């Protein structure tokens, strides 16, 4: 196995986020479950957008945000995910490439438009996401450049895209390629709704040791092992997955790796504005640290700092250089 020339390659949905503040009553009125992600069709996207307040647009997508974070930390990263050749597709492509990320997935020239996610941000800074997947779903195994995957220290996959059969094939191809080349595979459970849908398959991936590093929040891990509390879920995960970073919002996170276990405090954000992207940026900090051989507690601290940056403003992508931010915090 040769030295990795890339820190991380991410595979996931290529989405433009449309973010608007909303009152709790808006969520109730429109049947939106707070804090989760719901898939919507074009018609619902239209009607929900019409009902939403004034919005801002910014590139998003869970794994894409993580990859953007790694690039902002100064890491070398690539992304695989599909947009259409339309205005939002160009926005997505610009934003990720402008960070120095290698992003070469061909644009769809027909079919559904570029994916968008309508995000309602309530006064408690929670985000409730409504995703029209559009062109994002059209990812297939042919989009997975094996040479590129083989060159990355870690291949990172978001559970959100574990749905269309072609995309699953793309994920499996990427996992196989990484493993064959002695690289590590990281996987995010993404959302309790994803876990409910694919519990058996996610557990199988873990049991087959296809996943080296698991990212999950408390709710997702509890859903995976169908247990009621965090500690129970933690015990279920221990020994089953080589490494896991388990996030608990303001309670911080717990990192497990074999017999090692670290309890990491959250970093309080300078302002509590919008939690969109907090988990994605946590993963960015953690994977950057890991790819650069830092000890696990240092990876956790960097992860928490990156998450706090994401929470301090509207939108999931870092607003400032994470590299400079980390340096100011001695990380």
Please report which residue ranges of 121-164 form alpha helices under DSSP H: 146-150
What gap in Å lies between CA 114 and CA 135, rounded to an integer?
Answer: 5
CA proximity to 68, closest of 221, 283, 219: 283
Classify 245 as helix, strand or coil: strand
Question: Nearer to its own copies by C-beta: 263 or 324?
Answer: 324
Give residues in contact with its own copies (CB under 8 A): 20-21, 49-50, 52-59, 68, 86-88, 91, 94-96, 98-99, 270-271, 313-315, 317, 319-320
Report, in Å, the least distance between residue 16 CB and its own copies. 8
Please check whether residue 251 is in contact with residue 219, taking contact to mean a CB–CB distance below 8 angstroms: no
Report, in Å, the least distance between residue 250 CB and its own copies. 21
Report, in Å, the least distance between residue 238 CB and its own copies. 38
Question: Nearer to its own copies by C-beta: 114 or 247?
Answer: 114
Question: Nearer to its own copies by C-beta: 59 or 105?
Answer: 59
Q: Which two tokens stand for residue 110?
A: 């027909």
Question: Nearer to its own copies by C-beta: 91 or 298?
Answer: 91
Report, in Å, the least distance between residue 56 CB and its own copies. 4
Please check whether residue 144 is in contact with residue 79, taking contact to mean a CB–CB distance below 8 angstroms: no
CA proximity to 152, closest of 114, 102, 196: 102
Question: Nearer to its own copies by C-beta: 98 or 263?
Answer: 98
Question: Nearer to its own copies by C-beta: 56 or 327?
Answer: 56
Q: E-strand spans in the chain?
A: 6-11, 15-21, 37-39, 56-59, 77-80, 102-103, 115-121, 127-132, 152-158, 184-188, 213-217, 243-247, 253-257, 260-264
Question: Nearer to its own copies by C-beta: 7 or 95?
Answer: 95
Report, in Å, the least distance between residue 95 CB and its own copies. 4
Please state, in angstroms and as integers, the Cα–Cα distance from residue 39 to each residue in 72, 134, 171, 275, following that order: 29, 10, 20, 19
Please check whether residue 143 is in contact with residue 168, taking contact to mean a CB–CB distance below 8 angstroms: no
Report, in Å, the least distance between residue 231 CB and its own copies. 38
Report, in Å, the least distance between residue 87 CB and its own copies. 4
Report, in Å, the least distance between residue 29 CB and its own copies. 15
What gap in Å lies between CA 306 and CA 153, rounded to an integer?
Answer: 20
Helix axes 218-225, 192-207, angle to 10 degrees: 60
Q: Which two tokens stand for residue 135?
A: 């062109």
Question: Nearer to its own copies by C-beta: 192 or 277?
Answer: 277
């Amino acid at each position: 196995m040769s030295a990795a020339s890339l820190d991380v390659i991410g595979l996931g949905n290529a989405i433009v986020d449309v973010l608007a503040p909303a009152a709790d009553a808006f969520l109730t009125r429109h049947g939106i479950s707070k804090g989760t992600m719901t898939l919507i069709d074009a018609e619902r996207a239209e009607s929900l957008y019409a009902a939403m307040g004034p919005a801002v647009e910014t590139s998003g997508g869970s794994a894409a945000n993580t990859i953007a974070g790694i690039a902002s930390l100064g890491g070398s990263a690539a992304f695989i995910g599909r947009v259409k050749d339309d205005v939002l597709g160009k926005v997505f492509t610009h934003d990720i490439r402008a960070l120095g990320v290698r992003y070469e997935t061909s644009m769809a020239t027909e079919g559904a438009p570029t994916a968008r996610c309508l995000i309602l941000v309530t006064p408690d800074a929670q985000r409730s996401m409504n995703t029209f997947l559009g062109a994002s779903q059209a990812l297939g195994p042919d989009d997975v450049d094996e040479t590129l995957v083989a060159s990355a220290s870690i291949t990172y996959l978001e559970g959100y895209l574990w749905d269309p059969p072609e995309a699953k094939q793309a994920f499996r191809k990427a996992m196989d390629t990484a493993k064959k080349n002695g690289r590590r595979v990281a996987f995010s459970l993404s959302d309790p709704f994803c876990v409910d849908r694919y519990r058996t398959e996610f557990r199988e991936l873990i049991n087959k040791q296809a996943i080296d590093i698991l990212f999950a929040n408390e709710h997702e891990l509890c859903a995976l092992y169908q247990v009621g509390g965090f500690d129970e879920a933690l015990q279920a995960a221990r020994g089953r997955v080589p490494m896991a970073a388990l996030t608990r919002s303001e309670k911080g996170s717990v990192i497990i790796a074999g017999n090692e276990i670290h309890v990491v405090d959250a970093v309080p954000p300078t302002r509590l504005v919008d939690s969109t992207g907090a988990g994605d940026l946590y993963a960015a900090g953690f994977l950057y640290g890991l790819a650069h051989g830092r000890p696990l507690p240092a990876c956790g601290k960097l992860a928490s700092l990156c998450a706090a940056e994401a929470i301090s403003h509207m939108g999931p992508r870092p607003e400032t250089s994470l590299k400079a931010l980390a340096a100011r915090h001695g990380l």
